[in-house]
Amino acid sequence: MLHLPYHELPVEDPGTPDQRSPMRYLAWLALQQKGALTLNALFGIGWMVAQALLWAAVGAAIDHGVVDRNTGELFLWVGVVMALGLFQAVCGALRHQLAVTNWMSATYRTIQIIGRHIATTGTALTDEIPAGDVVNTVAADAMRIGGAYDSFARFSGAVVSWIVVSFILLSTSVELGLIVLIGVPILASVTTPLMKPLHSTQAAQREVAGRLAALGSDTVAGLRILRGVGGEDVFLNNYKRQSGLVRSAGIRIANPQAGLESGQVLLPAILTAIVTFIAARNVMNGTLQAGQLVAFFGYATFLTTPLRTAIEYVISTTRAYVGAGRVLRILNVAPLVSEPADPRPWPPVIESLEDRESGIEVQRGQFVAYVTETPAEAAVIADRMGRYVLDVGQVFLNGVALNEYSVVDTRSHILVSEVEPRLFSGELRYELVTRGTPNDGPILRALEAASALDILDALEDGLNTLVEERGRSFSGGQRQRLSLARALLTETELLILVEPTSAVDTHTEGRIAARLADMRRAKMTLIATTSPLVLEKMDHIFVVVDGHVVDAGTHQTLLVSSRAYCQIVLREESL
């Protein structure tokens, strides 16, 4: 049995694409699967050439077997017809299998590349491109790109079979051979004027469809708010208006695409009529035999397939070109954080992390907090110390600028847990354990530290429970506690938490503060909070005003010595 090129999807490393133009990106994708594409093209050529040669064998069977009444010749050519049919069947099956493989390989490689870029760009991508448009690119454009490699083998077979048929006809009738050799490209070129309109209308339709997807995503995400302010009708009308634009754009695509589709039928019919007429006239003049007439009619009929295939390939590559442009739009968004040209090796142990811009510093084994006047200011400092922004020149790890280390190493050893917890759909156990193999023991300890065992007890399937999209089946406080447990389970060297208890009641907050201090005692922890229950457990606290540390000490000493600390913390407590 023949073993075709095959690999698991997704691939381990999708590679670095050529982003200079959509055509270069498509060419790069082809190079990544050149072996499978080449073999697929060979099967496509064999499949289509066998169809063409079938008519030559039929004509020979008529002329040498039937007309000449030669039984041996008849059986010989019938055997050739059967062999060609069998060869065509085998090539057709293998061609189809490889075509699907190439289609899926190109599609999933594109999806992987987009996914990897999303992971590295962070919020820079959604700041520039709506999330719904990104999803639409993954769901639709990647599949359209794969379609070009699906039809590649058939197109290769179409070109070679056209050449083969042309030379067969030239060897028998120069007139007919030239008609086919020259006529097919001429007829195919008739569709060329439709290419530019098709490309432009597809690009326009894809643009408005992306906006519709983004509008739908935003509306669903904010539905609760919309209902609260009575804005459902307004957004429904906006959605209807955008849907109308998508429909109009789709209708505009219909004109050039209908022209191409009708060309698939009309142009081959014209060629068939011309070839059949001339061949029949030559038979009447005695320059062609009856079997040759049958063969010529078969060739003319067969040539409809290459022409249709060529037009189909034009349509699929146009769609792929538009899709590649949308993919490059995503890939060309620069990440907020870039890798250094020559990254330093990560140190064996983190001894200290210092933000010289604000004056905050955390040492190994410390449980440190900082308080700010606004949550936004706290998030800015956390993002800078976790290297989620471009300018981290004043952040030093073990005395070395943090931006001299690789981003991958930084993400592996420093974790910033956001104030807005995010849960994804899937089994709860795998939602909590993001590194290594899930083990119930550590999971339960982390849930206890986050005061979240009551959440688990309320779930019928426990850790096997399937979390709904965005964790919507949990309350805000439950999501926050589960997110905290997930952060603790990473056992990262340095954990930066931003308001980890803002959505829970004071009793739960007190339990979390005590247990968190015990669980993280041997590691480095930095917490941005204004909660007195959490702050009183801290080894050291920094008071930040206007981006700079103005006071530092323990909770008790700051209550006595720092007016700024009291204004921030006690104001929060009074609320």
Beta bridge partners of 467: 426
Q: Which helix (H) or strand (E) holds 400?
A: strand 400-401
Higher-pLDDT residue of 359, 137: 359
Range with the poorest average pLDDT among 325-329, 475-479, 496-500: 475-479
484 close to 500: Cβ distance less than 8 angstroms = yes
Per-residue pLDDT at 273: 76
- Give one DSSP letter per residue of 264-318, joined into a string: HHHHHHHHHHHHHHHHHHHHHTTSS-HHHHHHHHHHHHHTHHHHHHHHHHHHHHH
CA distance 163 to 168: 9
What's the predicted TM-score (pTM) here?
0.67
Average pLDDT over residues 458-480: 84
Per-residue pLDDT at 6: 54
Binned at pLDDT 50, 70 and 90, residue 352 comes out as: very high
The type of residue at 352 is S
Instruction: Express each pLDDT in 215-270 by its tens digit.
Output: 666 665 555 555 555 556 666 777 777 787 777 777 777 777 677 667 666 776 77
279 close to 176: Cβ distance less than 8 angstroms = yes
Instruction: Express each pLDDT in 379-419 by its tens digit.
Output: 999 989 998 877 767 899 999 999 899 988 998 899 998 76
Q: Which helix (H) or strand (E) holds 480?
A: helix 476-489
Phi and psi at 361, nearest 5°, equal -145, 140
The type of residue at 439 is N
* Length, in residues, of the chain: 575
Binned at pLDDT 50, 70 and 90, residue 575 comes out as: very low
Range with the poorest average pLDDT among 73-82, 99-108, 524-533: 73-82
Higher-pLDDT residue of 346, 161: 346
For residue 10, cis peptide bond before it (omega within 30 degrees of 0): yes
- Give one DSSP letter per residue of 434-458, joined into a string: -SS---HHHHHHHHHHTT-HHHHHT
Name the average pLDDT for the chain.
82
User: In this model, does residue 108 exceed pLDDT 80?
Assistant: yes
Per-residue pLDDT at 1: 44
User: In this model, does residue 41 exceed pLDDT 60?
Assistant: yes
Per-residue pLDDT at 169: 73
Per-residue pLDDT at 471: 76
Domains and CATH numbers, the chain: 22-331 (1.20.1560.10), 352-574 (3.40.50.300)
Most confident of 113-122, 242-251, 552-561: 552-561
- Residue among 368, 375, 371 at smallest CA distance from 565: 371
Higher-pLDDT residue of 127, 373: 373
User: In this model, does residue 143 exceed pLDDT 70?
Assistant: yes
Beta bridge partners of 496: 416, 526
User: In this model, does residue 26 exceed pLDDT 90?
Assistant: yes
Per-residue pLDDT at 539: 93
- Residue identified by tokens 């956001």 is 418
> Which tokens in the block code for residue 515?
């247990």
Sign (positive/negative) of CA torsion 144, 146, 150, 151? positive
Instruction: Express each pLDDT in 206-227 by its tens digit.
Output: 667 766 666 666 665 555 555 5
Task: Assign 141 to helix, strand or coil.
Answer: helix
Higher-pLDDT residue of 437, 103: 103
Average pLDDT over residues 21-42: 93
